[in-house]
Chains A and B, each alone.
Chain A
């Protein structure tokens, strides 16, 4: 988005995943982590944690998803625009879920 005149399009030239090749070692490590967290979440579901069960389950799922997005989908090595794009999607999803749920959770509140 700069003002300078270049020989090519102003918007090109940011480091994208083409420039940075992620090594298989990283993929293997992430794969291992994902397997670990899967085992963890299954195990956690057998432990009585009251209201924290779903919280733990979702939290682990979020961690796993984040690992996939950052490393398998290369977002860690992508431009700010790509990171912002993913963030925008997650944000809008949270608005849909959160604000809809806020109606349901408050239906029994008071009679005012």
Chain B
């Protein structure tokens, strides 16, 4: 199979002696760093840790659902397991995944800057994330939470006997981590671009993160105040969500989903940014309709604020609200679809090769499309009444989040692995892992669409026996999926020592990050670049190679 990988001669190639990893030594130089690249790696390690915790919880869920009875664990315990799975995966993995790791690492380099606008706030952001994560773990170990990750009232405020307050405060803290990351990105992209780096020469990765950052800054505070109100209600009984005191539980849901719907776009937009970069590189073609994709990212962010009540169609909102939110939900699907079409047209007549990042990107395109289309069924209020609170919803969001976002994350990690570490991952086994992941994913989650349509409710430990076959399929798929996720852990760590030396630009990609050494210098650039070439300008890249002077930093 053809490949575009172009590595330096392995006999003589060396990792550059001076880079951001070797620049300073000692644990404090990492824990007190302002270097966005080091912070990105710190994040990468932490979110991987939480990913495996969330994954273990998922494993427990699937094990329980092998049989119709609630026999592996009591129903209360099962409630805690799926709640913690959701909380950990959403707030401690998906929300920070691409932005805090790849975004932090790459955005300054992609725009030609030496660091983010506020390096200390960047570091603070990581510590807040750790604090939130530690509190969440504490809540988990000391009894867990059983309200579902959505903390729906009045369960969370009155009837649950679990660690709602601890978890609520944990997420409050983790939310500020997200806010500060978003704030940093917005200011950086506006103010720190190198000369010549105009808005329409920015890689689409930056546009995607810009859009996601707007959501982080404007949406997360509403979650913060909502959690504060839940904590106040639980502690002193203020009654703002309590029907017996005149409160409205639906108000909680309005405030909660006002954040949590944009949150799903916070999660997916950075992934879409990765896909734009990967598809362009492995089709050797400029992204089709760059401007449309850029504006679609912002449109998703803006429209994403207008649709939150589609999570509440059956909860008691007015019919008028159902109508309006359903209509707006149809609108928000359009920019996402535009992106899918544009990526497809990028592939058309491109020179496609199938390295691992591209395999994950293909997986993304297919699975996100399915997930997104099923979202349209759910946005239509009539069908939603039948499908909501069933496994259809579970399948829908796992298709977009796991089939979409997680695949994009893995795609990005593999794509920029050589840049971040200076080493290539082993290609064959990684392609195998990507395929195993894809197969495992479909076996796990496709049956769940069917289960949902047949009426199996979500968040139930026990179910009618006629649903067992599909559940067994799903659990079997989950075990395959687990293998697919374990493999990268193993070979990526292996590659740190034994991987081939990557050189500056193993993918022959465009973008400022590929014009500097791998791993980069702490200051990224020895001299601030002046950008003359267009974005995704492969012809420029060809001309560059002709006057190439190799030197190692």
Contact = CB atoms under 8 A, between A and B. Distances in A.
A and B touch in the complex (CB under 8 A): yes
Q: Which of B191, B196, B254, B318 has the most CB of A within 10 A?
A: B318
Q: Which of A6, A89, A106 has the most CB of B within 10 A?
A: A106
Nearest to A3: B198
Contacts of A107: 317-318
Given A5-B530, A11-B191, A96 B258 contact: yes
A11 B319 contact: no
Contacts of B289: none
Contacts of A104: 318
Contact of A100 (B190, B254, B320): B254
B95 to A, nearest CB: 19
A106 B321 contact: yes
B30 to A, nearest CB: 29
B320 A9 contact: no
Contacts of A24: none
B309 interface: yes
A81 interface: yes
Q: Is the interface of A mostly helix, strand, loop or mixed?
A: loop
Given A1-B199, A3-B196, A5-B196, A103 B530 contact: no
Contacts, number: 64
Contacts of A12: 191
B321 to A, nearest CB: 4
A88 interface: yes
Given A92-B305, A103-B318, A9 B218 contact: no
Contacts of B321: 102-103, 106
A69 to B, nearest CB: 17
A10 B222 contact: no
Nearest to A12: B191
A105 to B, nearest CB: 8
B318 A109 contact: yes
Contact of B320 (A1, A2, A81, A106): A106
B115 to A, nearest CB: 14
Contacts of B194: 9-10
A89 B321 CA distance: 23
A84 B320 CA distance: 31
B193 interface: yes
A8 B33 CA distance: 27
Interface string A1-34: 1110110011110000000000000000000000
B306 interface: yes
Interface in B292-342: 305-306, 309, 317-321, 324
A10 B190 CA distance: 10
B318 A2 contact: no
Contact of B193 (A5, A10, A96, A99): A10
B281 to A, nearest CB: 25
Q: Is the interface of B mostly helix, strand, loop or mixed?
A: helix
Contacts of A10: 193-198
A43 interface: no
Contacts of A96: 222, 258
A109 B306 contact: no
A107 B530 CA distance: 58
A110 interface: yes
A52 interface: no
Nearest to B325: A99
Contacts of A89: 218
B192 interface: yes
Contacts of A109: 318-320
Contact of A5 (B195, B254, B320, B324): B195
Given A88-B218, A89-B218, A102-B324, A9 B318 contact: no
Given A10-B193, A11-B192, A95-B305, A2 B317 contact: no
A46 interface: no
A92 B319 contact: no
Interface string B196-228: 111100000000000000100010001000000
Contacts of B190: 11, 81
A12 to B, nearest CB: 8
Contacts of B218: 88-89, 92
Contacts of B309: 99, 103
A89 B183 CA distance: 13
Given A106-B320, A107-B318, A109-B318, A99 B191 contact: no
Contact of A9 (B192, B199, B305): B192
A95 B302 CA distance: 11
Nearest to A85: B186
B379 to A, nearest CB: 16
Nearest to B197: A10
Interface in B520-534: 530
Nearest to A105: B318
Contacts of B193: 9-11
Contacts of A2: 198
Interface string A26-53: 0000000000000000000000000000
A96 B320 CA distance: 17
Contacts of A110: 319
6 contacts: A9-B193, A9-B195, A10-B194, A99-B306, A102-B324, A110-B319
Given A5-B195, A99-B306, A103-B254, 10 more contacts: A5-B530, A10-B194, A10-B197, A88-B214, A96-B258, A99-B324, A100-B255, A102-B320, A106-B319, A107-B317
A-B residue pairs, 5 tightest by C-beta: A106-B320, A103-B321, A106-B318, A107-B318, A100-B254
Interface of A: 1-3, 5-6, 9-12, 81, 88-89, 92, 95-96, 99-100, 102-104, 106-107, 109-110, 112
